Amino acid sequence: MICRTCGKKGDHWTSKCPYKDLAPAPDALDMPPTSDGPPPPLGTTKGSYVPPRLRPNAPQGKGDDMKRRNDENSVRVTNLSEDTREPDVLELFSTFGAVSRVYVALDQRTGSSRGFGFVNFVRREDAEKAISKLNGYGYDNLILHVEWATPRPS
């Protein structure tokens, strides 16, 4: 039996490997696999699964490169009716400019609107226009409250 972590034969089970917390030496990854040496690098054996973050061409870092949504142009809409859906909000707000994202919060049990949502505009000027025109606007027998969305805490 060979330990999958350190590559030693018969001394211990993989889950009890004393070397499991140690990273392999950088030069050990370039060496061809031997029966007494460390295990082969991830992804070099046929049929072995390698998580995306460990693949050779994977971006490094802890999600810093991930595209984050732009909260600068985000508008919060409250007092939406239970029947309101994302296409309805998109139709209402797209008259002011290009909309990049619409989200209407839904109740998980009933599937009806929870009464609020968010609209992200491409340009800040369009968001300002929408706030000035739609705040206090009557929509679906309710008066909308439209304001700048507070940014998410980091």
For residue 42, the model assigns a pLDDT of: 58
Identify the CATH number of the domain defined by range 71-148: 3.30.70.330
Q: Residue 16 has which token pair?
A: 């009890």
Chain length of the chain: 154
3-12, 56-65, 104-113, 119-128: which range is least confident on average? 56-65
Name the pLDDT band for 67 (thresholds 50, 70, 90): very low
Residue 111 Rama label (left phi>0; alpha psi -120 to 50; beta): left
- Locate the domains of the chain by residue range: 1-62, 71-148
Mean pLDDT, to the nearest integer, of 79-87? 93
pLDDT tens digits along 110-154: 999 999 999 999 999 999 999 999 999 999 899 999 999 987 776
Q: Tell me which of 108 and 57 has the higher pLDDT.
A: 108
> Are the CB atoms for 78 and 42 separated by under 8 Å?
no
Q: In which order are the strands placed within the sheet that holds 113-121?
A: 99-106, 113-121, 74-78, 145-148
Name the pLDDT band for 65 (thresholds 50, 70, 90): very low
pLDDT tens digits along 17-49: 776 666 454 444 445 555 556 666 655 566 677
Kindly tell me if the per-residue pLDDT of 58 is higher than 90.
no
63-77, 88-102, 132-146: which range is least confident on average? 63-77
For residue 7, the model assigns a pLDDT of: 74
Q: Do the bridges between strand 74-78 and strand 145-148 make them parallel or antiparallel, or are there none, so unpaired?
A: antiparallel
Mean pLDDT, to the nearest integer, of 53-78? 70
